[in-house]
Structure 1
Amino acid sequence: MIEDSLARSGMKRRDLVVAVAILMLMALIAARLEQHAGSEVLGGTARAADGDTLTMNGLRIRLSGMDAPELTQPCRRDGAEWQCGAAARARLAELLRQGAIACTLIGTDRYNRTLARCRVGGEDLGARMVREGLAVSYGDYEDAEALARAERKGLWGSSFERPQEWRQQHGRPQEEPHEVVGGILAMVLRAIGLQ
């Protein structure tokens, strides 16, 4: 009986070791694949849909890590209404006209929107929009926001509601700070019940 118990427990330990080894191998493979997932780059010309979204080659791309005022969102500056959402879109459009755009695709968000980091002339568009005060940090660009705030640029020189708060008050869909979902590692972890 003792021998049977030891044999069964040895079998359980061996099975556990094999299972852990398989999981580690799957995680390693997934991590390698995810490294390359962010390396897909789209290039060309683009059009601004709003202050944080552009269209390139028929694909609607949401700039990751920042959040611009909604297109119809107003702000107040010097006691007067200022169409900060329209201003953010106009500035993004102006930046997009400065040359060829290169967008590194990151993945999709929970709304199935394509998330990307885009550059024009080597400069990160999200960082530029936040630094100029026409977007707020939304999971990234905290340093750029701090500088814009200190210099009272754009939104920071006015009174405004953060875009997420404005959407909430005006019945627009809410979103969380950008995090890529559906990555290979996340899919593996969900498949084995660890996420």
Structure 2
Amino acid sequence: MKWRDVVVAVALLALMALIAVKLEAPSGGDLFSSTARAADGDTLTMGGRRIRLSGMDAPELTQPCKRDGAEWYCGAAARAHLAELLRRGTITCRLIGTDRYDRTLARCRVGDDDLGERMVRDGLAVSYGDYENVEALARAERKGLWSGTFDRPQDWRLRHGRPPEEPHDTAAGYLSMVLRLFGLD
């Protein structure tokens, strides 16, 4: 068997599995609701499950930023802000998939507020595959991170020995889930 035949067979299996996953899931992915707590500025814990908010990236917990010449821990501030948002009521999340670190990716809301969008809009997270328009508003209004200087979280992680991440992509999330299902990751 040629390499090309193997690649085509694997691609077809992945496509069939992706179709099966899409047919089994409600439109847009599984929906679940509960209370939650903030693990950091872009991750929450809900019912024992760690959920990474899709489309945005918040500073790491120990990441410092500068404002008016003084250092402030913007990562800790992002976590505190997410925790404050989570206290507003029941959180509803729509599963998108998993990322390459096997984290659950989801879009989550509290009431009418999209948590990822709110974090970016309030200037305590940056767009990471989505929310570019609200990031532009936060930047123009010099909110949160934009009130001083900071390293984008992915740049800070890279400089501190952590592997780079790719922006979140719904299709890639489903594909990685399918590949793991068949042990092909």
Q: 1:28 to 1:70 in 2, by over 3 A?
A: closer
The residue number in structure 2 matching 1:152 is: 142
Structure 2 unmatched runs, 5+: 1-11
Distance (Å, rounded) in 2 between the aligned partners of 1:44 and 1:52: 17
Distance (Å, rounded) in 1 between the aligned partners of 2:38 and 2:17: 38
The residue number in structure 1 matching 2:169 is: 179
Distance (Å, rounded) in 2 between the aligned partners of 1:58 and 1:186: 20
Q: TM-score normalized by structure 1?
A: 0.77
Paired residues for 1:1-195 under 5 Å: 29-30=19-20, 32-33=22-23, 36=26, 38-180=28-170, 181=172, 183=174, 187=178
Q: Number of aligned pairs?
A: 167
Q: 1:29 to 1:64 in 2, by over 3 A?
A: closer
Distance (Å, rounded) in 2 between the aligned partners of 1:182 and 1:37: 15
CA RMSD of aligned residues (A): 2.6
Structure 1 unmatched runs, 5+: 1-21
Q: Residue deviations 1:134-154, cap 9 Å, x none?
A: 000000000010000111100
Distance (Å, rounded) in 1 between the aligned partners of 2:176 and 2:16: 8
Structure 1 residue ranges (4+ consecutive) displaced by more than 6 angstroms after TM superposition: none
Does the aligned pair in 2 maintain the 1:37–1:106 contact within 8 Å?
Answer: no
Q: 1:187 to 1:103 in 2, by over 3 A?
A: closer
Q: Secondary structure at the match of 1:81?
A: strand
Q: 1:185 to 1:63 in 2, by over 3 A?
A: closer
Q: Percent identity?
A: 72
Distance (Å, rounded) in 2 between the aligned partners of 1:62 and 1:29: 24
Q: TM-score normalized by structure 2?
A: 0.81
Q: 1:121 to 1:171 in 2, by over 3 A?
A: same
The structure whose Rg is larger is: 1
